């Protein structure tokens, strides 16, 4: 292993060796760069597939939807505007929207369990596959800092794809209250995670 | 009971609105910059929840995605959302306009095989504008080199902007296109880098309220508003 050099030269070397950020990669994808697309896929596929699987549950259907998401990323890359947000957020927002649309569409025809059986992220079967990263611990800790209603409202909407009206009925709460709790839950989560407001 | 739409930002960011509410809130977002800013922070926050759900990905998915991408063309939009339409006074014959711009259009650089299809779609868009009876042309030289040609048709409610021979910029800067609506400059997108030193054609929609089209040099990736004086400014004909 090379000896770390504390000087600025070493810092520059580290920065230039790093994988390009998703923002840089997505801008290259927008210009038709297939290699950049493959690198972007490698960077984001674990989160995209994991998120879609959380919402949809069915592994085969989740892979189908994840594939659609990446195709959409390829086709619509020109619409990404780096001045309006991060590429990672752009892709995960697409993925979530697509997963939620799919679960609502499939709902009638599938055996999706509409009962409230959610027991928290740490007990979810999918979590066993989660790659252990410091960030996940931070997310878990920050979710833990929310009130019960805030946390359950955020979890049921984001990880299960329920509308706020469905969340309200599952939790036997007022829909207006649920909407407000989603917002103040996200504010608390945002501040806890150190996301710029 | 009506609910303050501001309070829907959380539910919106979590995709917890139904389709109708989602559309209504998106309309509200256009008029509420603070809400848009809040939604942006919430989207970054939600993305962290997505990251936390990461799983190991099977190899066959990667192969399937990359294979499909290889066979699929990309979209190539340069769309500016704007407001009312207004007829442009005066007019040039479409044929004269076409003759003036078409060189640029046909030399349009095809740098990827999958862009052939987009090119076809775009050329039909371009032809539509050029063929409009009220199409008008304006041309200007770009400070620093190159030319900008703009064809506007109120009937087609579109403008075509042809950029030719713009000098190559360093990696830290990009050309960015703008439309002027009243006193406001609205971004019409960053010029793809592969168009530097070549010819690029951009179709803009909903141009009724646009009084000018401009080009600036911005930090790489573009800016929310022009950060320097335009290097080219074309007043759209009849404005």
What is the secondary structure of B174-225 as a DSSP string? EEEEEEEETTEEEEEEEPPGGGTTSEEEEEEE--TTEEEEEEEEEETT--SS
pLDDT for B3 equals 56
Question: What is the maximum span of chain A, computed from C-alpha positions, in angstroms?
Answer: 61
Predicted structure pTM score: 0.58
Q: How far is A3 from chain B (nearest CA, A)?
A: 32
Q: Which residue has the higher pLDDT, B202 or B110?
A: B202
Q: Give the span between the Cα atoms of B195 and B186, in whole angstroms.
A: 21
User: Which pLDDT band holds residue B58 (cuts at 50, 70, 90)?
Assistant: very high
pLDDT for B200 equals 80
Give B147-201 pLDDT, tens digit per residue: 888 888 888 888 888 888 888 888 889 999 988 888 888 888 899 888 888 778 8
**Contacts across the A-B interface (CB distance below 8 Å):** 205
Give B98-149 pLDDT, tens digit per residue: 544 544 443 333 344 445 555 566 667 777 777 777 777 777 778 878 888 8
User: Which pLDDT band holds residue A9 (cuts at 50, 70, 90)?
Assistant: very low
Q: Give the span between the Cα atoms of B104 and B112, in whole angstroms.
A: 18
Q: Please answer yes or no on whether A51 and B50 come within 8 Å at the CB atom.
A: yes
DSSP B74: P
Q: What value does the mean pLDDT of chain A take?
A: 81
Mean pLDDT of A15-30: 77
Choose, out of B5, B17, B49, B78, the residue to mutate when testing the contact with A (most A CBs < 10 Å).
B49
Q: Please answer yes or no on whether A70 and B13 come within 8 Å at the CB atom.
A: no
**How many CA atoms within 13 Å lie on the side-chain side of A73?**
39
Mean pLDDT of A139-162: 93
Q: How far is A2 from chain B (nearest CA, A)?
A: 30
Q: Please answer yes or no on whether A78 and B65 come within 8 Å at the CB atom.
A: no
Q: Please answer yes or no on whether B50 and A47 come within 8 Å at the CB atom.
A: yes
User: Which pLDDT band holds residue A122 (cuts at 50, 70, 90)?
Assistant: very low
B145 touches B178 (CB < 8 A): no
Judged against a pLDDT cut of 60, whether residue A197 lies above it is answered with: yes
The shortest CB-CB distance from B52 to any of A23, A88, A135 is to A135
Residues on chain A touching B193 (C-beta within 8 angstroms): 31
Residues on chain B touching A38 (C-beta within 8 angstroms): 66
The shortest CB-CB distance from B47 to any of A53, A92, A161 is to A92
Mean pLDDT of B44-66: 94
Q: Give the span between the Cα atoms of B119 and B44, in whole angstroms.
A: 34
Q: Which of B164, B171, B175, B189 is nearest to B76 (CA)?
A: B189
Mean pLDDT of A174-190: 96
ipTM > 0.85 for the complex: no
Q: Which of A41, A95, A46 is nearest to B65 (CA)?
A: A41
What whole-number percentage of chain A has pLDDT above 70? 76
């Amino acid at each position: 292993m090379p000896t770390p050099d504390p000087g600025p030269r070493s810092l520059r070397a580290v920065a230039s060796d790093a994988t390009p950020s998703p923002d840089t990669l997505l801008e290259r994808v927008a210009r038709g760069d297939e290699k950049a697309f493959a690198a972007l896929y490698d960077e984001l596929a674990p989160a995209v597939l994991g998120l879609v699987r959380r919402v949809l549950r069915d592994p085969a259907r989740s892979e189908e939807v994840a594939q659609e998401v990446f195709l959409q990323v390829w086709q619509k890359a020109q619409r990404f505007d780096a001045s309006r947000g991060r590429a990672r957020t752009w892709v995960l927002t697409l993925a979530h929207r697509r997963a939620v649309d799919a679960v609502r569409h499939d709902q009638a025809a599938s055996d999706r369990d509409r009962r409230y059986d959610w027991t928290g992220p740490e007990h979810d079967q999918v979590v066993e596959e989660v790659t252990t990263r410091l960030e996940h611990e931070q997310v878990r800790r920050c979710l833990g800092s929310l009130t019960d209603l805030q946390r359950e409202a955020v979890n049921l909407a984001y990880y299960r794809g329920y509308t706020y009206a469905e969340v309200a009925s599952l939790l036997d709460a007022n829909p207006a209250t649920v909407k407000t709790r989603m917002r103040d839950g996200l504010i608390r989560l945002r501040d806890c995670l150190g996301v710029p407001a | 009971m009506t609910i303050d739409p501001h309070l829907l930002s959380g539910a919106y960011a979590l995709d917890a609105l139904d389709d109708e509410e989602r559309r209504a809130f998106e309309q509200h977002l256009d008029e509420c910059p603070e809400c848009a800013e809040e939604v942006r922070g919430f989207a970054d926050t939600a993305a962290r929840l997505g990251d936390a759900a990461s799983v190991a990905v099977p190899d066959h998915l990667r192969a399937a995605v990359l294979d499909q991408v290889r066979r699929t063309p990309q979209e190539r939009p340069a769309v500016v959302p704007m407001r009312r339409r207004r007829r442009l006074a005066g007019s040039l014959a479409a044929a004269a306009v076409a003759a003036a711009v078409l060189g640029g259009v046909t030399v349009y650089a095809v740098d990827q095989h999958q862009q052939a299809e987009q090119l076809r779609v775009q050329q039909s868009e371009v032809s539509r504008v050029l063929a409009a009876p009220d199409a008008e042309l304006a041309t200007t030289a770009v400070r620093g080199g190159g030319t900008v040609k703009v064809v506007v048709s109120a009937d087609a409610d579109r403008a075509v902007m042809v950029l030719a021979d713009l000098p190559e910029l360093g990696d830290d800067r990009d050309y960015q296109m703008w439309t002027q609506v009243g006193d406001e400059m609205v971004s019409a997108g960053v010029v793809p880098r592969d168009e530097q030193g070549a010819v690029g054609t951009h179709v803009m929609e909903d141009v009724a309220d646009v009084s000018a089209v401009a080009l600036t040099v911005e930090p790489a990736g573009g800016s929310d508003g022009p950060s320097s004086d335009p290097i080219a400014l074309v007043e759209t004909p009849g404005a």
